[in-house]
Structure formats: C-alpha cells, structure tokens
Structure 1
Amino acid sequence: MKTVIKNAYLTATINSFGAELCSLKNKDNNEYIWEGNPEFWSKHSPVLFPIVGTLKNNSYQYNETVYNLSRHGFARDMEFKLIDKKEDSATFSLQSTEETLSAYPFQFELQIIYTVDNSNLSIEYKIMNNGNSKMAFSIGAHPAFALPGNFENYSIQFDKEQSLEYYLLENDLISNQTKKLEIQEGQIPLTYELFKNDALIFKILKSKSLTILENRNPFLRVNFKDFPSLGIWTKMNAPFLCIEPWFGYSDTNENSGNLFEKEGIQVVEENSTFRSEFSIEVL
C-alpha cells in the first residue's frame, strides 16, 4: 500500500512494505528519489534495522546463543502498519513477531514518521524497547537520489571543513584501510572511480549536513544532525547517489561477534525509547 503526504512545496510517497520512501517531488513535479530500476538497484530508500551493513559471518552472539541476520537487517523486507495519517505526515509501525524474535531476540516497536514542512521532508525514527532487558541495535537510512544527465556534473559539499577520511570495505566488512577525499574549492567532484571499492564509510563526521550540487548549483541537502556516521554509495554507471546517515556500520574482521561489543552499536534501556531524525531539503 502506498501513502501520499504533501504540502504546497513537496509530495512524498511511502510504500508500507519496508515503510520505504519511493518518491519525492517538488511543486514542478521534479523527482528527487531514484526510480528503482533493477538494472542498477531495485530499492529507493530502504530502512536499515536492526543492523546497518554486514555482520561477520552474517551472525552474532547474544546470551551464549548464535543468531543469523542478513545484510542491513529485516525491516526493509517487512510490511509496516500505517498508524497515523494527516495531509502532511504519516506514521508507520513495525513490531516484533515470532519471525523477528528468531533472528533478533528483543521485543521492539519501530515507528517511522514522515513529515513535509515547506521544502523539507523529515524522517524520524522511534525505537521502543518493550522488553525487560537492554536492547542493542543499529538504525540507518539509505535514500538514493536521482542524478539525471552526466554523473560527473555533480559534486558534494559538507557543511564543515575537516579532513575527510573514509574506510574501505573488504568482502562487505570494514577494513583497516582508509583514504582521504580530495576537496576542490570546497567541493568533492563525483566520479564512478570514487566508488570502485563500494561505499565510502565515514565512522565519525564533524559535518551534520551534505549538499549535492549540479554544475556547482545546489539542488538538494541531507541534514543528519543526530547521526554520527555516514555512508555514500552508488553503483558503476548508475544515475543515482545514496547519502546514508547511520547509527552503526558493518563489522570489522576483528569483531568479537558479541552484539553488545559491536562497533557503533546503540543500546536502549528496558521500557525506553530511542529517537533520531534526519531530513531531505529540496533547494
């Protein structure tokens, strides 16, 4: 089922399957979200929960039991329930089930709230621990933005100046190898060569927003003030770019496998709620 929210500036469409944003258009009907052409990548903006990235051996341990979880977790492949709808906002909910408990033994509710406000679409995550023990998790966004025309006409710009060092992936796990992004006049030109080894992984960033520019003209900004980590990704020759705010990331080869020792993991106390929010601003 698809749900539409809108105001005078934006129209957003969300699929209840995965609570996935599948369209974001401005008042001129320009589309900002990748169409999901399976020739390149069939997703639009999947939600990553209860893990971000890949676990070592696709497994982890909790209370001396081994559990299996595939890349990016299960939320993106589950049906959410629409629990609140207004003209400019919609709230979706996913609750733990026998199926989820077999892979992730925690009683939870994940709510995702989409709201349009002027030229902003905000996406809020509420993660409720409904169990009687601490709950460990990661949560992340994976929106793919459509970049029509020549990919190399585009560049990105972080809001704060810093040395931009990113980690490389090796067999879907984070390696110890890092590289620095080359900045030219405050901007990073986009090339497919940048992504020849998969995503760029920033464990910690001073910047809390990133702007995509076309021919040096800003047209979209992602604001992620709550999120410590970020991924940037595309596929070779694909006309999109993913800007991915994260709490957590893939395992390293040194990871112990203990979920609560996982690098970047978040912990929410029993009967407590974790909240975070990011936004997409059409310029």
Structure 2
Amino acid sequence: MTSLTRIANRHLTIELSSLGAEMQSVTSADGRAWLWNGDARFWTGHAPILFPMVGKAPDNRVEIEGRTYEMAQHGFARRSEFTLAASSDTTCRYELSATEATRAVYPFEFLLAVEYGLDDARLTVSAEVENRDTRPMPFGFGYHPAFLWPLPGGEGEAHLVTLDNGAEPPLTQLEDGLVKDETSPSPFRQGTLVLEHELFQNDALIFAQGAGTRLTYAAENGPRLHFTFENLPNIALWQKVGAPFLCVEPWHGTAARHGGSRDLAKRPYSVILQPGEKSRFAFTVEFSG
C-alpha cells in the first residue's frame, strides 16, 4: 500500500512516496515549491527512478541472455512499491528487491536501495544497486527530477543551464525514442545554454558523452539549483513542450541505439554488475536565491 514520508530541516521539506521511491514535493522554509507537481495535463511524473534501464527499448522489448522480455520505457522501478527500510527527521531509505513480477521481465535477484538526505539547503539522493544473483547482471540507472520553470521567484527572467567545466558537449538526438549514432553540434556556448521551449520540439536534449559532474540551473537574476553528480556520466534535459518544468536527468545508461541490438548488456553505458557486487549513483542539489 502506497504511503508518504516527510523529511525536513530548517531549510527544506521533502515529501516522498513509497510508489517508485519518488519525491512528490520540495518546499523551502519560505514556502516556495521547487518540484513539479505532476499535473496530468502535461506529465504525471515528479522525479521517477529509472531502473533497470533508461529510456526505451525497440518495440518495448529487451533481450537478456538470449531471451526476450517486455519492458516499458525507463524500466519498472518507477511503478514498483518500495519498502521504507529506515527513516529519521532528515533522512530516509527505500528498498526494492526482486519479486515474482520483476523476475517475469528481469530475471535477476537484486536489491535497489534509494536514500534521501538533507544537509542545510542541500538534498542528496543516492542509490545502490546490489547483484544478489549468481551471474553478471546488466542494467541502466537514472534520475528524472522535474523542477519548476520558471523557478519560484524567477518569473520573467531568462533561465540558463551552466556547466561548471565550460564545455560544449555534442548533442545526441532520438529517433522513435532510440538514440542515433551520429551527434549534432552542441546547443551550449562556452558552457551556457539559454533555455527556450522550442529546444524540446524533438524530445530530450541528451548529452550521452557527458557534460561534467557539476551544473547550475538558474534564473538569470534569481534562484538557482546547483547540481553535483556521482557515477552518472550521461546527462539529459527534457520538458513536455510548453510545460512549466525542466527535467535535469543524470544517467548511467541511455536508450537503445536506433537500429541496434535489443540486448540490455549492449546498450550504451550499460553497467554489468558481477555477483555480490554493488554500484552507487548519486546527485546533490543545493537550493539558493
């Protein structure tokens, strides 16, 4: 049965759902809401967890060890009921392990643990995937948080995404929801992207080769979110065109290649986790302004 958990400190209050271990709201002490509210007119998500794959598979089918399985976009974790394993005033931990339903589409024993923690005006979200099976386990993992655009207090201001490394990473585009091998010139100029709704006419902006480990999403003269990423080498930006949110999505893995294999292990940036091993993925976001 789905339940809600709240963690808070003097700066931030976070509400979370056991369904998908997904954030439902982020509110600062001054009452400002920062996270997308899931309005069904645009997109019902808030901040889904993507596992055991990121993006789409050809015809929604993946191949694992020579067998074919049905798997919807972004995997099953976001539609799964997690167990609240631990919580305190400022932290909580959700866990998802293999069930009869998951084995029917992903034939491995695993543990996915997702933790949320507050430290002043910083939120850290971390995940640990453990292979509890006896054979190597392929998967992709990602985060999909949607923050308001415009940011609260930034109405009327231009909004920017700025890469700390000043890079101009090439753009990977989608065709039928699958990544194309060829890339396009970067929309960043000296590490800065001025956001316009028209940028998303052809779906997400994907930087499969990475965009560094730190970026800022901000109103030009107003509030800002500063992100730090750990073990998340791929970045995407997405919105439903015209909707008042921006998804800042750090991933380890992407959709399957257009015209490529259904094999989960052969998708770009897939993780192959050996029996008994664990892998951690995390991001921190600091709220200011």
TM-score bracket relative to the smaller structure: over 0.9
Q: Equivalents in 1 of 2:18, 2:185: separation in Å?
A: 39
CA contact (8 A) 1:143 1:244 kept: yes
CA shift at 1:37, angstroms?
0.6
Among 110, 113, 118, the alignment partner of 2:112 is 110
Q: Equivalents in 2 of 1:192, 1:152: separation in Å?
A: 14
Q: Equivalents in 2 of 1:151, 1:168: separation in Å?
A: 29
1:257 matches 2:262: yes
Q: State the SS of the aligned residue for 2:108.
A: coil
Match for residue 50 of structure 2? Answer: 48
Note the aligned Cα RMSD (angstroms): 1.6
Q: Equivalents in 2 of 1:101, 1:173: separation in Å?
A: 25
CA contact (8 A) 2:163 2:211 kept: no
CA shift at 1:28, angstroms?
0.8
Relative to structure 1, the CA distance from residue 151 to residue 72 in structure 2 (aligned partners, 3 Å threshold; closer, same or farther) is farther
CA contact (8 A) 2:204 2:238 kept: yes
Q: Deviations over 1:4-42 (max 9, x none)?
A: 011111111111111001111111121110011111111
Q: Deviations over 1:63-100 (max 9, x none)?
A: 22111111000000011110101111000011110110
Q: Equivalents in 1 of 2:169, 2:220: separation in Å?
A: 22
Q: Deviations over 1:249-269 (max 9, x none)?
A: 101123222222222100111
Structure 1 unpaired stretches of 5+: none
Q: Deviations over 1:123-153 (max 9, x none)?
A: 1101111111111111100000012376872
Q: State the SS of the aligned residue for 1:113.
A: strand
CA contact (8 A) 2:257 2:267 kept: no
CA contact (8 A) 1:165 1:181 kept: yes
Q: Equivalents in 2 of 1:185, 1:250: separation in Å?
A: 27
Match for residue 133 of structure 2? Answer: 131
CA shift at 1:206, angstroms?
4.5
CA contact (8 A) 2:112 2:128 kept: yes
The one-letter code sitting in structure 2 at the alignment partner of 1:130 is R
Match for residue 26 of structure 1? Answer: 28
CA shift at 1:53, angstroms?
0.1
Q: Equivalents in 2 of 1:39, 1:2: separation in Å?
A: 23
Q: Equivalents in 2 of 1:25, 1:163: separation in Å?
A: 32
1:202 matches 2:207: yes
Deviates most, 271-280 or 113-122: 271-280
TM-score of the two chains, using structure 1 as the length reference: 0.95
Deviates most, 199-208 or 182-191: 182-191
The one-letter code sitting in structure 2 at the alignment partner of 1:156 is V
The one-letter code sitting in structure 2 at the alignment partner of 1:269 is Q
Q: State the SS of the aligned residue for 2:241.
A: coil
Number of residue pairs the alignment of both structures matches = 283
CA contact (8 A) 2:178 2:258 kept: yes
The one-letter code sitting in structure 1 at the alignment partner of 2:216 is T
TM-score of the two chains, using structure 2 as the length reference: 0.93
Among 84, 91, 95, the alignment partner of 1:89 is 91
Relative to structure 1, the CA distance from residue 277 to residue 203 in structure 2 (aligned partners, 3 Å threshold; closer, same or farther) is same
CA contact (8 A) 2:212 2:233 kept: no
The one-letter code sitting in structure 1 at the alignment partner of 2:19 is F
Q: Equivalents in 1 of 2:233, 2:173: separation in Å?
A: 18
Deviates most, 118-127 or 182-191: 182-191
CA shift at 1:108, angstroms?
0.6
